[in-house]
Structure 1
Amino acid sequence: MNCLIVDDDPLICDLLEHFCSKVDGVNNVTIAMSGFEAVNFINSARYDIVLLDFDLPDITGKDILNVITTHSAVIMVTSHSDFASDSYNYEQVVDYLVKPIDFSRFFKGIQKAQNYLSKSVQFESRLFVKEGNKLVKIKFEEVKYFKSEANYIAIVTEYKKLLTLMTLKDLEPQLPSFFQKVHRSYIVNLNKVDVINNRSIEIDKDHIPVSQRYENELFKKIDRLN
């Protein structure tokens, strides 16, 4: 699982990162020490678990909750206990840990996050998109890649290609973890990739560019899937 730690205290970040290293399945940890840095990370990658402080130097954890989709499980980690009851108004908040934190309590929070994520998997097998005046069901396992074309997305599957009025930014939070953005115009199904070579990807006979911005995240995601 991908984990994002959001806290302005480096000691807390180190502690949470250490706790994450002791949990099987949490194998990639990113740290953001400000709210705006966290928002940038959230907008550019997908995180399964977000460990979120409430009190940050620029914007609050509540502000950040408004940009985190329900595809992420959020564990509030803070000394700001007043927000505890309000935080459960957010579907993605699964637990609330008050500092100081020990590992046993942290682990219970991770288990709650895993349960939340496992329940949400069943909703991630398909997507309905609008094509003209009709809704078409797209099975994610059949999609080879998505390509941005102006205000539309081309969805290329094993059997067909269709256009739908949508942006990659709107689509990305709805995708399972085996999809990865590799270019500002492309999101690929990593299970369909045949070759990665010289900043390009081959899927069947299609060549898809890989930009430097997404290259590191691409290889990290591939390592996690292996």
Structure 2
Amino acid sequence: MKCLIVDDDPLICDLIEHFCSKINDISSVTTTTSGFESINLINSTSFDIIFLDFNLNDITAKGILETVGHNTCVIMITSNKGFASDSYNYDQIVDFLVKPIDFPRFFKAFQKAKNHLSKNQEKETRLFIKDGNKLVKIELEAVMYFKSEANYISVVTEDKKILTLMTLKDLLNKLPDYFQRVHRSYIVNLNKIDSINNNMVELGENHIPISQSYEKELLTKINLLN
């Protein structure tokens, strides 16, 4: 799992990162003390779990929550013991940690997030998209890649191509882990990759460019899958 820690207190970031290092299921951890930077990170990277400070200096946590897709779990960090009543206004929030934080309580919150993600992934085998005036079922395992074309997305399988009104950002939040963004215009099915050569992903006869900003994440995820 990939985690993001957002807290304007560097000591809290270090503590949560230390706790994460004790859990084998967590493969990578990114930390930031800036709410605005966290939005850029969320928009460019797919995180499984976000540990989010409720009281940030530069932007409200609510502003950040609105950018988080429904396939990401959020564990709020707060000093307010009465936060529980507000914590379920967002479907992404699965638990909250009240400072000071100890490892047993942290681990309990992590387990909640892990169970929530597992249930979601069981459901993520198909996607319904709009094709003209009808909804079409797409079996995600059959998709080779998605391509952004202005305000539309091309869904490309081995035997067909469908154009639907959607953005890559919105789509990425609906996809399971074996899909990876490799370029501002492309999301590929990692299980369909035949080879990677000269900054290109080869999927059958299709050659998809890899941008430098996504190359490291792609290689990391491939190694984890293998």
Same fold per superposition (TM over 0.5): yes
Whether 1:30 and 2:30 are equivalent positions in the alignment is yes
* In the alignment, structure 1 residue 6 sits paired with structure 2 residue 10: no
Provide the rounded CA distance (Å) in 1 between the counterparts of 2:150 and 2:91: 33
| TM-score of the aligned structures, taking structure 1 as reference length | 0.95
**SS of aligned partner of 1:174:** coil
Q: For 1:96-175, what aligned pairs fall within 5 Å after superposition?
A: 96-175=96-175
Amino acid at match of 2:16: L
Query: What is residue 183 of structure 1 aligned with on the other side?
Result: 183
CA–CA distance in 1 between the matches of 2:149 and 2:36? 29
Equivalent position SS for 1:136? strand
User: Which 4+ runs in 1 deviate beyond 2 A?
Assistant: 80-84
- The Cα shift of 1:43 comes to 0.9
Structure 1 residue identity aligned to 2:66: N
What is the alpha-carbon distance in structure 1 between the residues aligned to residue 224 and residue 41 of structure 2? 18
Deviation at 1:70, TM superposition (A): 1.7
Number of matched pairs: 226
Residue 201 of structure 1 is matched in structure 2 by 201
Q: Give the counterpart letter for 2:8 in structure 1.
A: D
Q: Matches of 2:104 and 2:32 in 1, distance apart?
A: 24
Deviation at 1:169, TM superposition (A): 2.0
Correspondence 1:44 to 2:44: yes
Give yes or no for contact 1:19–1:106 (8 Å, CA) kept in 2. yes
SS at match of 2:173: helix
What is the distance in 1 between the residues matched to 2:103 and 2:134? 51
- CA distance in 2 between counterparts of 1:84 and 1:62 reads 15
Aligned equivalent of 2:218: 218
Gaps of 5+ in 1: none
1:10 CA drift (Å)? 1.3
The residue type paired with residue 128 of structure 1 is F
Residue pair 1:55, 1:80 contacting (<8 A) in 2 also: no
Shift of 1:198: 1.3
Alignment partner, residue 70 of structure 2: 70
- Partners of 2:16 and 2:200 lie apart in 1 by 36
The amino acid of 1:110's aligned partner reads F
Unaligned runs of 5+ in 2: none
Q: Which moved more, 1:81-90 or 1:97-106?
A: 81-90
Post-superposition CA distance 1:135-177 (Å, at most 9, x none)? 1111111100001122221111123112112221221111111
Q: Is the 1:152–1:165 Cα contact (8 Å) retained in structure 2?
A: yes
Once the 2 structures are TM-superposed, how far is the Cα of residue 108 of structure 1 from its aligned partner?
A: 0.4
Deviation of 1:92 (Å): 1.4
Identity %: 65
Amino acid at match of 1:104: P
